[in-house]
């Protein structure tokens, strides 16, 4: 008996653009990724996983970017939002017996950190590292500290 392998028939560029448009419209309407994939006609297994390379392709990303621009989400708008979040503060209130006695504005460190990380990634200054790279770097710093070296790159491994 000969094993037969069913070849997948690839979709036409028109069909892929149509799917990308439906997917984009669904996301902008507030649908989840999984539901947007279902709406665009993807298989249940793809929708359940929620992962699709649809928006990784620049040709398919174009309608999504255009929709964001049409809704007022321009590069300048996003840059201003990130800039604002880099200085995020919150107000904490002090109370006694249910009566507010004072308030203070304090930095929201986690929001500021994530915003700085996002800005650095967008500008290309921060690249994702593998866990191995992080562990080796940490180990080098510890060895450097124990040896009393000034420069962790000067470690003989």
DSSP 46-102: HHHHT--GGGGSHHHHHHHHHHHHHTT--HHHHHHHHHHHTT-EEEEEEEETTEEEE
- The stretches in the chain having pLDDT less than 70 are 1-11, 50-57, 59-60, 128-157
Count other C-beta atoms under 10 Å from residue 68's C-beta: 16
Is residue 123 within 8 Å of residue 82, measured between CB atoms? Answer: no
What does the pLDDT read at residue 157?
A: 43
H or E segment and range at residue 94: strand 89-96
Separation CA 57–CA 101 (nearest Å): 55
Separation CA 71–CA 78 (nearest Å): 12
Separation CA 127–CA 133 (nearest Å): 12
Separation CA 124–CA 146 (nearest Å): 33
Q: Which residues contact 36 (CB under 8 A, 6 or more apart)?
A: 22, 23, 26, 27
Separation CA 155–CA 35 (nearest Å): 52
Is residue 86 within 8 Å of residue 119, measured between CB atoms? Answer: yes
Separation CA 35–CA 42 (nearest Å): 10
What does the pLDDT read at residue 132?
A: 45
What does the pLDDT read at residue 55?
A: 61
SS3 63: helix
What does the pLDDT read at residue 38?
A: 86
Separation CA 17–CA 60 (nearest Å): 6
């Amino acid at each position: 008996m000969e094993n037969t392998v069913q070849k997948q028939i690839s979709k036409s560029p028109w069909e892929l653009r149509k799917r990308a448009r439906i997917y984009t419209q669904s996301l902008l309407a507030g649908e989840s990724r999984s539901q947007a994939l279902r709406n665009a006609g993807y298989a249940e297994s793809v929708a359940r996983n929620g992962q699709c390379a649809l928006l990784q392709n620049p040709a398919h990303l174009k309608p999504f970017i255009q929709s964001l621009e049409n809704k007022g989400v321009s590069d300048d708008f996003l840059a201003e939002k990130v800039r604002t979040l880099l200085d995020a503060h919150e107000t904490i209130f002090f109370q006694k017996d249910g009566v507010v006695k004072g308030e203070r504005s304090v930095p929201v460190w986690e929001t500021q950190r994530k915003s700085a990380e996002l800005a650095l990634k967008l500008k290309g200054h921060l690249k994702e590292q593998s866990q191995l790279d992080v562990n080796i770097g940490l180990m080098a710093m510890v060895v450097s500290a124990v040896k009393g070296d000034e420069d962790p790159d000067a470690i003989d491994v």
